[in-house]
Structure 1
Amino acid sequence: MSESSPEQNGDSTKANFEPHQLHLHNQTEIEQRIAAQEMRKLKAKSEKHHTIWFGLGMFGLIGWSVTVPAVAGAIIGMWIDSRWPSRYSWSLMLLIGGICLGCFNAWKWLHKEGNIES
């Protein structure tokens, strides 16, 4: 067993690129990542409305955007059940529909407010 490297042994198992090229490629990628992180941080600092109160307000808004359609669906369903009894529970169906509608509204609002591309 030889302690010498493959280059010294004459092996042709060299990579297609030199080590310094790999280092430059990784360095460029790292620089781009750091620049993107810096831009996000600077943007976050420049937006003054993103305080703890903004977060609490958004939390409340999301809660109400789910609660209102769910409660409205349940109330309308109870009214339908009292007027026209059937073997299906309109209260339950409209409650679930209201929750789904509320979750969709909350998701849409978060994507709009958070500038999230999907």
Structure 2
Amino acid sequence: MQPYLRIEHHVLRDGANFSSVHEKMIYFLVQSYAGSDGLAFPSHQTLADAVPCGKTTIKTCLQSLIEKGWIEKVKRFDRHGGQTSNGYRICLPERVVSRQEGGAGDDSGSATCRPQRKRG
């Protein structure tokens, strides 16, 4: 685990693409749990304790982040085929991807799920 989390300024300062401060904080927390492959596995309770808020708020915000394309839900299964807890993959908003690839980007807030590359 890295001792810090790098957050792009325009994502941190963005007041339009997140529905609430809870949603923004949950996005950053999930990002802080992500490994080098971009996958994170924090429980709803772990996130609720860190924000702090209730698990219902966590579930609502995670669903909203999934619908907006900021994260992707990854179903996990045990060796017998039974589903275990979900994981989450951090996605880069399209305008961030466009800027990194030399494009102009836009402020539409649309996202493409491309695993975030860890820097460090």
Instruction: Name the TM tier (shorter chain).
Output: under 0.3
Highest relative contact order (Cα 8 Å, sep 6+), 1 or 2? 2
Name the structure with the higher helix share: 1
Give the structure-1-normalised TM-score: 0.21
Give the structure-2-normalised TM-score: 0.21
